[in-house]
Structure 1
Amino acid sequence: MTHELFGSATNLVTRLRDLADNQGEKPAFDFLNEQSLETTQLRFSDLDLRARAVAGAIQQAGIRERALLLFDRPGDFVGTFFGCLYAGVVPVPAYPPTANPAHWQRLERIAVDAAVDGLLSSSKLLPAIESALQHKPTFSRVRLLAVDSLDDSAASFWQPPTLSGDSLAFLQYTSGSTGDPKGVQVTHANLMANIGTFGREFGFHRESHMVSWLPLFHDMGLIGCMLGPAIVGCRAFLMSPTSFIKNPVRWLQSITRFGGTISGGPNFAYDLCSHKITEEQQAALDLSTWEVAFNASEPIRAATLKRFAKRFAAAGLRGSALKPSYGLAEATLFVCGVATNSLAETRTVSAKALAANQTAPEPVDAADRLELVASGRINRDQQVRIVAPESLETRPDGEIGEIWVQGSGVTLGYRNRPEQNQRDFAAHTAEGDGPYLRTGDLGFVQAGSLYVTGRIKDLLIFNGRNLYPSDIEHTVERTAPGLRPGCGAAVSVAGEAGEELVILQEIAPRHFDESRADDTVQAIREKVWHLHGVQPVAVVLLPPKSIPKTSCGKLQRYQARRGFLDRAWKPVAAWHKTEATATAEITAPAATPRLGDIHRLTREHLAATMGLSNAGALPGSQKLFELGLDSIGALEFKGRLEDEFNCELEAGLVFDYPTIDDLVAHLAETCGLQPQPTQNDADLDAMNEDQLAELLAQELGSSQGGR
């Protein structure tokens, strides 16, 4: 299938080569540095040359099938992804490596499932990757290649592949952090059709300016913000995700500086800007060029849209620019969204009725009112049905059911999962209509607009990340003795800035030591944070038979969530984030005077990140996750420290140095900070460099005990 935006091209390689011939001098990508100020520009002719060079090197290296892509900078990723396409090799994007062992376990599962024969990265990351892979037999026959060290002369080795619309373009892995990853098989035809659809709905044209911080290993960043602009032929300004998380105003400053017309992200990104950007920073913004501010990937909240629109109206943002949308990787990316000539719609329903998967007239009781945001009108390229999940009967307008999708964006299914593909990608209604993709999401259609109300599939979304509750529950039940296997529930509750995680877990009285209940709760919090990167706001240990189940023994997580909100149980032990932070006391000794300034600045930046008023009350020996620092906060905190001390810190900073004391010692060592003398340190002036080094080594050694 071709699209009016792309002429006769049926695959991405042909399309990009056409653009290189017809508008080769036009900028394709501008890669922003960490401060989002300076840019490195890549024209369409440059992109074509770079893709041919990478492709030639891939072919010369003997990589023939699939290649794992591990990058931390957009500039390296873009040329490599297109290089794989030019080589006829299927790219497999994945999260760049960290120090977290769970991350490497996931990469191994992806590598096995995809049967990769290549791993492509940068010369900066590859030494650490090679070291990590030394004892992993999965990667013993995988060829490693640092693509940033390749010269463009490698383009002379390129042999054009034979491609069609049905050729596999890439594998998008989607899964919980410890579950078996599932590789969505996306073809060139899927991409051309889906980009054509959202390109038309969102008004993409050759003069559009995309500005994005979204990670390129995720479908929204990869397809929506990289591939979309590239094959439409417009210009994209890409910044790193960490640059945005460290300082959210950089996103809006980049839209201002480069005249961004299209940009967006998950719901939490808009909340982060509303909460973190100061009035002084806002005064310098000009968002009048922003035509499409898409909001996707997680539940879209009416309050978020209203707050963001109100907050930045003075900067020229038009409320009509806010465009909620809905999509999923299994449908390539986009299913529907609010078109450029339309306004976002909302509908007020009964929260109690919605909890029972029913819609009802607007409630009289204000406490029962819930405002839903429509994800846009159904478009001509996608057929959407609302189907009863069990009877498979099509539901009429206004009735809730599972969202089923049919269209050219629906992918081939998951790699190596024929039974699941038959069930989820070839579904037919009771009336015989099909095949459809079963999304696992609940919703209803009203007057042609789609409202997403919940999920059948067990999926939790925190800060734009997808996690499966079964993965978290499996982690929890193995944390300590006396926890009943299969008798726990990981559920989400609404918080001020989005969904928050609650852990509910039954105990086995004969095997559980109640005197160690608090230690068990703390161990659960630490294990969940370490393996899944999300901070629970509550952990509740319950007597046996508390967690509701069906007659066949299946967990009823919704009912468990309701029991938590209704305080239906008398717990064996419980911890709540607000209670813990409110009663936190300083139990650690005073900071070493010689490192006093470093301690003070680290505490101040941590307090600013977490929105706490009393930085001095943060204990130096207490673990950061116990204070409530989550994964997004960890990145922001890292960025603050880098800016303050003018040094680059590792991605897994809070895992490797989990307390303030550990961090201070590491900062002094890594960043070359010189402790400042105090009234008690006059004798330091008399010490030579060797004596100072020995003293510092003692200080560092004494503060490592908490690691």
Structure 2
Amino acid sequence: YQFISQILRWRAQSTSDHVIFTLLNSKGAVSKALTCAELHKKAERIGNLLLEKGRVNTGDHVALIFPPGLDLICAFYGCLYVGAVPVTIRPPHPQNLHTTLPTVRMIVDVSKATLVLSNQSVIKLLRSKEASNVLDSKAWPITLDTDDMPKKKLPILYRAPTAEMLAYLDFSVSTTGMLAGIKMSHAAVTSLCRSMKIACELYPSRHIALCLDPYCGLGFALWCLSSIYSGHHSILIPPSEVEINPALWLSAVSQYKVRDTFCSYGVMELCTKGLGSSVNQLKSKGINLACVRTCVVVAEERPRMHLTTSFSKLFSALGLSPRAVSTSFGCRVNIAICLQGASSPEPSTVYVDLRALRNDRVSLVERGSPHSLCLMESGKLLPGVKVITANPETKGQCGDSHLGEIWVQSPHNASGYFTIYGDESDYADHFSAQLVTGNTGEVYARTGYLGFLRRT
């Protein structure tokens, strides 16, 4: 069995000069690039820093507080190299410390992190006078700076005794303000990467553009894990740079002739609002999106059809195929349930009767019918993912035409909640639910989302 950290070491030896990550700045220029060997060496140095200065033990949780970029990736593998468990956390916003700093602090506390890894600018911010007005700046765990590292090789790379052991913790704050941390095992990591490799046809010769936040869910997996497993070149575009230059992401996609790109709804909105009047200008600059085969919005919600349709229509003038735009769906129990793969047909839409839906029945109607609601599919199920719908109260299996709770079975399900903060209800059966009718022996994870299956 190959752990993701071993795959990185193997790539550093077998394709040492292959550029695996490129980070762009707001002008579209390369601000930093990393080859497989450079990433491996940097991760080794971070591993040494953790051992020597952090006195880290196997299984210790380490908070990684970095802006979206390459340091985050290096720190993640540095942790794996010494058997520490990384927790990636979005840094506090300098202009909004009052609301963002307590969230950072809460994740550090709730994740039981014994160490914080960060860079100079973030550490300076955490220790600033403004920050100490919000929180006691002395109360942080030991904080290590990755800009100040020993230049030594690691004596030995840690290998977990079993693949079921914890690889990392994934924390996300839901729209209702609930903080949920999930446990991801080494087996789940490689299984997820394998599923995405098959579905998206990812190979070392591919260029994938990512414009989303890398702190949790599928966004994190794409930013930090997928390239290492599949070997493709990831072009990383922090969403904050798109706020400065709305054309950045699409220009990069055109420049690198990217076939597959992933973004967030926030980025799609920035482009739709910020570039609405300048499509002709972009066209005259030679921006062409005909190269795009899949443009996937990474989400943990129902597809925002209005936005994806506006985006498709607006940028069709730049050659974007209407078939290209789709959404993915994941949630806390499984961060990637479905995804529009490389060879999938375009996402289908259906019209359902709202009155029937209120009675938990799915009745398909014609477009334009009274009481109709348009729904878009959330992508194709990833390889290895099995989904059923069940009645959340009775736990009986629902037929395809009935609305039910989505239950998922997959080798990349999370292994359980690490913690749920702000909601103390009973989650014991979330990861080990069993049907009372039908195939009662199988174990599923409950997503908490309602939906229905449509066989295509």
Q: State whether TM-score is above 0.5.
A: yes
Q: 1:135 to 1:440 in 2, by over 3 A?
A: closer
Q: 1:186 to 1:313 in 2, by over 3 A?
A: same
User: 1 CA distance for matches of 2:114 and 2:454?
Assistant: 48
The aligned amino acid for 2:386 is: Q
Distance verdict in 2 for CA 1:221–1:176, change over 3 Å: closer
Matches within 5 A, 1:34-433: 34-61=26-53, 62-64=55-57, 65-98=60-93, 99-131=96-128, 132=131, 140=139, 142-150=141-149, 153-154=151-152, 156-163=153-160, 164-176=162-174, 179=177, 181-277=179-275, 278-283=278-283, 284=285, 285-297=287-299, 298-331=301-334, 333-341=335-343, 342-362=345-365, 366-416=369-419, 420-431=426-437, 432-433=440-441
2:453 pairs with 428, 431, 445, which one? Answer: 445
What is the identity, as a one-letter code, of the residue corresponding to 2:272?
S
Give, in whole Å, the separation in 2 of the partners of 1:122 and 1:363: 56
Q: For 1:444 and 1:180, how far apart are their aligned partners in 2?
A: 26
Structure 1 residue identity aligned to 2:87: V
Please give the alpha-carbon distance, in whole angstroms, between the structure 2 residues aligned to 1:234 and 1:53.
Answer: 24
Q: Evaluate the alpha carbon distance shift between residue 140 and residue 178 of structure 1 in structure 2; reply closer, same or farther with a 3 A threshold.
A: farther
Q: Which has the larger displacement, 269-278 or 251-260?
A: 269-278
- The letter of the residue matching 1:232 is S
Once the 2 structures are TM-superposed, how far is the Cα of residue 436 of structure 1 from its aligned partner? 0.9
Aligned-pair identity (%): 22
CA pair 389-318 structure 1, distance change in 2 beyond 3 A = same
Secondary structure in 1 aligned to 2:273?
helix
Residues 136 and 315 of structure 1: CA distance in aligned 2, closer, same or farther (over 3 Å): closer
Question: Counterpart amino acid of 1:12?
Answer: I
Distance 2:442 2:214 in 1: 33
Measured at CA, do residues 134 and 275 of structure 1 come closer, stay the same or move farther in structure 2, by a change above 3 Å? Answer: closer
Distance 1:137 1:420, change over 3 A: farther
Does the Cα contact within 8 Å between 2:332 and 2:447 map onto a contact in 1? no
Give the deviation of 1:178 after TM superposition: 8.3
1:514-567 per-position Cα deviation (integer Å, ceiling 9, x unaligned): xxxxxxxxxxxxxxxxxxxxxxxxxxxxxxxxxxxxxxxxxxxxxxxxxxxxxx
Which ranges in structure 2 are unaligned for 5 or more consecutive residues? Answer: none
> Is contact 1:214–1:241 with CA below 8 Å preserved after alignment?
yes
Shift of 1:419: 8.5
- Is the 2:199–2:383 contact (alpha carbons within 8 Å) kept by the matching residues of 1? no
Cα pair distance change 1:139/1:289, threshold 3 Å: farther
Q: Distance in 2 between matches of 1:313 and 1:165?
A: 45
Mapping 1:596-615, distance limit 5 Å: none
SS of structure 2 residue aligned to 1:118: strand
Query: Residues 18-37 of structure 1 correspond to what in structure 2 (within 5 A)?
Result: 18-37=10-29
In 2: Cα distance, 1:140 partner to 1:270 partner: 38
Q: Following the alignment from structure 1 to structure 2, what is the Cα–Cα distance between the partners of residues 182 and 34? A: 32
Counterpart amino acid of residue 430 in structure 1: V
Residues 294-324 of structure 1: per-residue CA shift (max 9 Å, x gap): 1231321334333333322232222232233
Give 5+ residue unaligned stretches, structure 1: 1-7, 449-707
Kept in 1: contact 2:180–2:332 (CA 8 A): no
1-side partners of 2:64 and 2:255: how far apart? 31
Question: Given the two structures, how large is their TM-score scaled by the length of structure 2?
Answer: 0.88
> Residue 66 and residue 33 in structure 1: after superposition, are their counterparts in 2 closer, same or farther (change >3 A)?
same
Mapping 1:586-625, distance limit 5 Å = none
Secondary structure class of the residue paired with 1:330:
coil
Question: SS of the residue aligned with 2:49?
Answer: helix
Alpha-carbon shift at residue 253 of structure 1 (Å): 0.6
Secondary structure of 1:425's aligned partner:
coil
Code of the residue aligned with 1:67 in structure 2: it is V
Pick 1 or 2: higher relative contact order, CA cutoff 8 A, min separation 6.
2
- Name the CA shift for 1:245/1:350 in 2 (closer, same or farther; >3 Å): farther
- Over 3 Å counting, the alpha-carbon distance change for 1:158 and 1:102 in structure 2 is farther
Alignment partners' CA distance in 2, 1:421 and 1:52 = 38
The 1:355–1:363 alpha-carbon spacing in structure 2 relative to 1, beyond 3 Å, is farther
* Alignment check: 8 A CA contact 2:68 2:214 kept: no
**Secondary structure class of the residue paired with 1:171:** strand
Letter in 1 for 2:158: P
Aligned residue in 2 for 1:15: 7
Distance in 1 (alpha carbons) for counterparts of 2:176 and 2:101 = 10
Structure 1 position 223, deviation (Å): 0.3
Residues 368, 82 of structure 1: alpha-carbon distance in 2 compared, 3 angstrom cutoff: same
- Would you say the 8 A contact 2:127–2:137 is kept in 1? no
Distance 2:169 2:24 in 1: 27
Give 1:423-502 correspondences, 5 Å limit: 423-431=429-437, 432-448=440-456
User: Number of matched residues?
Assistant: 437
Larger Rg: 1
SS of equivalent residue, structure 1 residue 172: strand
Higher helix share: 1
Q: Is the 8 A contact 2:207 2:234 kept in 1?
A: yes
Contact 2:302 2:378 (C-alpha < 8 Å) held by counterparts: no
Task: Report if aligned partners of 2:118, 2:146 keep a CA contact under 8 Å in 1.
Answer: yes
Gap change, CA 1:287 and 1:180, over 3 Å in 2: closer
Counterparts in 2 of 1:36 and 1:63: CA distance versus 1, 3 Å = farther
Query: 1:523-542 maps to which residues of 2 (within 5 A)?
Result: none
